[in-house]
Structure 1
């Protein structure tokens, strides 16, 4: 059981860019739905009538669209910064095999079996390399004085 909790900081660090990408996908889907709602509302009410009445439905859609677009931009910037930081840390590992294991598992979503086949190792060897890589990542994060925030909760899909 201790092995599961071990190197949790490193695991969270390595998963953050993928979580940011999922968050971005959710927000993009929300934006698409709000754009469809805005389009239907505008067609339903008619352009001239919307301008006369200052329709609250249209205003609500416009506000929601603006908020989502801003959130998407913030998420894109965060995802980019996380990927750059992750690449910096991976580049500092002292063994190319460790870097490859982490890339295959965290960036390419390979299973242990797929990573083992790709690298020509057994699954057990891959898992050992993974643990060694996590130890180095955690050491690098500690050297840099970096502590990650608590796990983020992804936005709900509407």
Structure 2
């Protein structure tokens, strides 16, 4: 794992959770959807089974989301703790804006009143000051 991958873990988990929450929303819409049958003499017994299956999937997905939120909270604490150890406050700000707030390089440049190129250079310097142990990946 590189330093960038370490820092990105919080935002990656956040995006995964957002996707799952969107799926939960779709399942909720299906579970609450009411349809009317126009043929009164037609009887269907499988509607209850469909509803039960949807609700079961919804409950399972919500449990997954809860577990992911716990992982994301821990990842945010770990990433924030690593960033807080960076000595230069400008570099800490840059890393927080990028890896905690999820801002683009352009947004960071505008917010910090620097050029895009200078923000890119600062990012490299900030990563160099980041004190985390990254295992060396063997070359295959």
| TM-score w.r.t. length of structure 2 | 0.76
CA distance in 2, matches of 1:35, 1:29: 10
Q: Mapping of 1:2-151 within 5 angstroms?
A: 9-40=2-33, 55-137=48-130, 140-142=131-133
State the secondary structure of the residue aligned to 2:132: helix
- Backbone CA RMSD of aligned residues: 2.8
CA distance in 2, matches of 1:95, 1:126: 14
Deviations 1:16-63 (A, max 9, x none): 21111111111111111111211226x669xxx9xx979321221121
CA distance in 1, matches of 2:46, 2:102: 51
- Structure 1 gaps, min length 5: 1-7, 148-158
- Structure 2 gaps, min length 5: 38-42, 136-140
Aligned length: 130
Structure 1 runs of 4+ aligned residues shifted over 6 Å read none
Q: CA deviation at 1:75?
A: 1.2
| Rg larger in structure | 2
CA distance in 1, matches of 2:103, 2:17: 22
| TM-score w.r.t. length of structure 1 | 0.68
Q: Of Structure 1 and Structure 2, which has the larger fraction of its residues in helix?
A: 1
State the secondary structure of the residue aligned to 2:114: coil
CA distance in 2, matches of 1:102, 1:53: 53
